């Protein structure tokens, strides 16, 4: 088992959320990764922040702590299948979130996110919320 950590959980952690810190400590021995999409979201947030240099340094440290999963052909195939299925059902999800979910499913990881409103609609996605 391994975890794919979503952007919101990392933000909770950076803000000192005790629940997330407890979960991180409890699951210390289990491998944790981030998606290249999450990394991009962190870079975006750092660049538009009031302290971009400091926040880029924090983002770089996160990338050192959590290996980054790059998008590959298999992830894109899962993404396409999920997007088509959800749109057919009338349940669209933003592409970036869908790409994160596809990464988690392709890698057979549990996705850790507080965004249950989006990710909770994806069948067969193993979702954990360490902040809820």
Q: What is the CATH number of the domain that holds 10?
A: 3.40.50.1010
User: What pLDDT does residue 73 have?
Assistant: 98
Query: What is the tally of structural domains in the chain?
Result: 1
- C-alpha triplet 88, 83, 97: angle, nearest 5°: 135
The tokens for 89 are 């059902």
At 86, is the pLDDT very low, low, confident or very high (cuts 50, 70, 90)?
A: very high
Which residue segment(s) compose the domain that 121 sits in? Answer: 3-128
What does pTM read for this prediction? Answer: 0.94
* C-alpha–C-alpha distance, residues 92 and 30, integer Å: 32
Lowest-confidence region among 35-39, 75-79, 116-120: 116-120
């Amino acid at each position: 088992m391994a975890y794919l950590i979503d952007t919101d959980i990392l933000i909770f952690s950076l803000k000192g959320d005790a629940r997330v810190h407890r979960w991180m400590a409890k699951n210390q021995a289990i491998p944790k990764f981030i998606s290249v999409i999450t990394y991009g979201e962190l870079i975006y947030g750092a660049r538009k922040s009031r302290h971009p240099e400091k926040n880029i340094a924090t983002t770089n440290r996160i990338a050192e702590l959590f290996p980054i999963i790059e998008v590959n052909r298999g992830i894109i195939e899962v993404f396409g299948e999920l997007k088509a299925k959800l749109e057919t059902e009338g349940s669209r999800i933003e592409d970036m979130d869908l790409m994160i979910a596809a990464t988690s499913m392709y890698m057979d990881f549990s996705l850790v996110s507080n965004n249950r409103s989006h990710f909770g609609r994806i069948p067969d996605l193993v979702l954990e919320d360490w902040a809820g």
